Amino acid sequence: TAPARPDRPGAKVRAELGATGRPLLITVASLDPHRGHELLLDAARAWRTAEPVPLVVVAGEGPLRPALQRRIEDEGLPVRLIGRRDDVAELLAAADLALLPGSWEARSVLAQEALHARVPLVAARTGGIAELVGAAAELVPHGDAEAFGAAVLRLLADPERRRELRESGALQAATWPTEDETVAQVLSVYDELTQPRPLGQRFVT
């Protein structure tokens, strides 16, 4: 598994979260339906028997928080809800894995941040995630809690695979357009669409 080292970056963050000497798994998303948090809690059941037990930290706020907290307490799940945070970069830097149990965003912000930060990512195959990350993440079928949980345990037990994902993640992130390039592309398309057409190409109504 991936125990914390006292000298590693983010050791203070890990200590504050209660993840000293155990793997730290991070996910960042609003606590809304369809974000995959219920699936994450289902998967976390399998992690209770790991040694050491990984800690799952969920940064985000939303209407599902009371129901999720009840499940965590009732089932004794190794999960902490820490609310909305403004130090996501520091949380990711301290993490052993990033988790994306469900997202229909075309370009998941968490996936991008994880790969940029060289943090191995386990994600459900939803939306545009496969196209975004390529082979630089562990992708599992959407809605399959057992597969998601198994992928996490497998990755925690395989330091070589985590190293490969850190390297491939950084390479994949380098292929993405920068924010300025994306804006330039959008403006270029907008200019093309708004240019007056020659008379012969105008639609006749």
pLDDT given for residue 185 in this prediction: 47
Confidence label for 188 from pLDDT (cuts 50, 70 and 90): low
CB burial class (10 A; 0-12, 13-18, 19+) of residue 202?
Answer: exposed
Residue position matching structure tokens 């800690």: 55
Model confidence pLDDT, tens digit, residues 142-167: 999 999 999 999 999 999 999 999 99
Counted domains in the chain: 1
Strand 97-100 to strand 24-28: parallel, antiparallel, or no bridges (unpaired)?
Answer: parallel
- Let me know if residue 107 belongs to a domain: yes
Predicted pLDDT at 194: 58
Whether 28 contacts 100, CB under 8 Å: no
3 state SS of 148: helix
Residue 2 within any structural domain of the chain: no
Q: Is 18 a domain residue?
A: yes
Place of tokens 């985590």: 162
Domain range for 145 is 11-176
Which residues make beta-bridge pairs with 26? 57, 98
Report pLDDT for 107.
80
User: Is 200 contained in some domain?
Assistant: no
Asked if residue 27 has pLDDT above 60, the reply is: yes
DSSP letter (8 states) at residue 197: P
Is residue 181 situated within a structural domain?
A: no
The mean pLDDT value for 23-34 works out to 92
The reply to whether 204 falls in a domain is no
Count the alpha carbons within 13 Å of 5 in the hemisphere toward its beta carbon: 5
pLDDT value at residue 33: 86
* 76: alpha, beta or left? (left if phi > 0; alpha if psi -120 to 50): left
Residue 97 included in any domain: yes
DSSP state of 200: G
Its pTM stands at: 0.80
Whole-number pLDDT of residue 203 = 45
Q: 109-116 and 159-174 helices cross at what angle (nearest 10)?
A: 110
Using one digit for the tens of pLDDT, what is the confidence trace for 54-98? 999 999 999 999 999 999 999 999 999 999 998 989 999 999 999
Q: Is 156 in a helix, a strand, or coil?
A: helix
CATH of the domain at 156: 3.40.50.2000
Residue 186 inside a domain? The answer is no
Q: Which amino acid belongs to residue 171?
A: L
